[in-house]
Chains A and B, each alone.
Chain A
């Protein structure tokens, strides 16, 4: 009888344990991508084709930080980060397929560190409708954070910040009145152009010349001549690195040397393409140069990147992805052990003056999901980049 009682008690206890465990598992299963020991994060990043030189460093930068969190701390509250970065080849049609796979088959918790404006645009509505949080997209487009969408958060400054900063800096700081603009005829160039001209107009300045060129352009001579003939003392370049290099070299041939200003597509790599013609160009940055000496956070980033991807040179692309990953893990940590998508979003909205030493401060709120607002003005000098000053366009 006693033995029967013991068996019965064991069965009851076992049943209770299994029921509680089952309930717990059932509860966890309600949160996509979250299990007792894993948080599954997805991303769409071009790793083949023309955009691969940007996409591969982005994957490596984000993976570096997630690996570090897993190895050093065992993940977040015992859950290891599984980062699934699928290659969409920077083709929006592929992005749709890749994201459906991530959301419907892989059942990821969130989309993090995705790359591209047109690619993100192709899946934006789908992700919003499915309530999938998106954090740290790599792109400048305004739609990424304005108007505020409950599930979507940015890290990079958007084209409003870039456009207005360039115009303000040219007029207020450099005191130029004869300003020329060159922009590429695509969504990126047109959006920037809109905010540059709007800001100039607010300051009572009308551009003396505006030239626009197709993304397929290989001959920039007539554009440069037009800017030169108009007597532009400062020229704002709203295009890509190779376009800027071609324009600068053409101008150097013609002996035309205005104050060039560029957006975040400019990097010190411009020196390799344009040579001395790149000297003194001012551009906008928003993250510390990973090669900055005596900078502990830049050093840690370089060290970790080399640990997980030996031989890979740190770049702005891998660095901003690494910072984006830091943002994601910080929010996961604040969200607590009983992780839900809503708690994750609420955690992000508590960020106030957030930074890890590599970017200007970021503040989110329920009504503001835009990332970096204050920008860093940098000049190309002596073969490298020289920090000039921080510029918060919202203050002017």
Chain B
């Protein structure tokens, strides 16, 4: 049972990790925590749902459609909304993203309705048996995609011009501008890729948790917890944090039955303890303070 709990926890954790990656990408370069991320993911996933069920298009088209929607949404959010409020304090921009999320939620309810919708697995078929442990094929795919994305992003940040520019912008915006980097354009790229990754995550998450207006927000809350646990600026940290959170959730089964209603609370308590010991999270960069 323990092995099954760990494997199932890793499967759930990989979903949290997928969500966390897009969130961190935007945060790393703009220092904005995207509170509307869950709604943006939901909206993009509904685009895939619409292409699949209304227009009967192949899954690949729906999949790419969702990512394209996320990408465009990221550009619109940055160029259309946040640029207008560029002089506002950063905390106000957090709230602006929340507002954008609420607008998207209202539009989604209006267009696609409020009831929970089914969403197909990317790969179907009987689950895979690893000894006595059972795992869905879909979960294996999610593991693989999460790992591939983390590697791709690592390579992008390390070896490409845009990645290096993103890192430079994240470290010191003014210095980056003086070095000739178009900081505004870098922010737009970050938003586009970050929300696009959210859309990709949404298409992978929806078959497990279904699709409605609120479920992606519930996953996002866990993604934020995973990101905090892993270190908010670290992409590998997001993966590790997500997987660890998924496993920790499942292992709370061993808590006394009388404490079962506190299960979720207990997981967050553990995160606080980790942060008390290691404030930068498991793999985050240590925070230097000038005195």
Contacts and interface: CB of A to CB of B under 8 A. Distances in A.
Interface of A: 49-53, 185, 210-214, 216-219, 221-223, 225-226, 229, 241-242, 245-246, 253-255, 269, 272-273, 275
Interface string B100-125: 00000000010001111110000000
B173 interface: no
A255 B134 contact: yes
B127 A216 contact: no
Interface in B46-94: none
Contacts of A214: 261, 263-264
A185 B11 contact: no
A218 B208 CA distance: 8
A225 B8 contact: yes
25 contacts: A49-B109, A50-B114, A51-B114, A53-B113, A53-B114, A210-B257, A211-B260, A213-B263, A214-B261, A214-B263, A216-B218, A216-B264, A217-B218, A218-B215, A218-B219, A219-B9, A219-B249, A221-B12, A222-B249, A229-B1, A242-B215, A254-B134, A272-B118, A273-B116, A273-B210
Contact of B4 (A216, A223, A225, A245): A225
Nearest to A212: B260
Interface string B1-38: 10011001101100000000000000000000000000
Nearest to A223: B253
Contacts of B221: 216
Contacts of A213: 263
Contacts of B212: 50, 242
A222 B249 CA distance: 8
Interface string B246-277: 10011111000100110110000000000000
B197 interface: no
Contacts of B12: 218-219, 221
Contact of B214 (A50, A219, A253, A254): A50
Contacts of A212: 260-261
Contacts of B219: 218
A242 B251 CA distance: 23
Contacts, number: 85
A116 B253 CA distance: 32
Interface of B: 1, 4-5, 8-9, 11-12, 109, 113-118, 127, 134, 136, 208-210, 212-215, 218-219, 221-222, 246, 249-253, 257, 260-261, 263-264
Contacts of B208: 218, 246
B261 A185 contact: yes
Given A53-B115, A246-B210, A221 B222 contact: no
Contacts of A185: 261
Given A53-B115, A214-B263, A218-B222, 10 more contacts: A49-B109, A50-B214, A211-B260, A212-B261, A213-B263, A217-B264, A218-B219, A219-B249, A222-B252, A255-B134
Given A242-B210, A253-B136, A255-B134, A222 B222 contact: no
Given A50-B114, A50-B214, A226-B253, A218 B209 contact: yes
Nearest to A48: B109
Contacts of A253: 127, 134, 136
Contact of B118 (A51, A53, A211, A273): A273
A208 to B, nearest CB: 12
B261 A221 contact: no
- 6 closest pairs, A vs B, by CB? A221-B8, A219-B12, A53-B114, A222-B250, A53-B115, A222-B253
Nearest to B205: A218
B128 to A, nearest CB: 10
Nearest to B8: A221
B260 A218 contact: no
A148 B134 CA distance: 52
A245 B113 contact: no
A218 to B, nearest CB: 5
A52 B115 CA distance: 9
Contacts of B136: 253
Of residues A211, A246, A273, A275, which shows the largest number of chain B Cβ atoms within 10 Å of its Cβ? A273
Contacts of B253: 222-223, 225-226
A229 to B, nearest CB: 5
Contact of A221 (B9, B213, B260): B9
Contacts of B113: 53
Nearest to B217: A216
A50 B113 CA distance: 9
A314 to B, nearest CB: 15
Contacts of A225: 1, 4-5, 8, 253
A52 B109 contact: yes
Nearest to A275: B118
Nearest to B138: A253
A229 B5 CA distance: 12
B134 to A, nearest CB: 5
A218 B218 contact: yes
Nearest to B12: A219
B218 A221 contact: no
A395 to B, nearest CB: 33
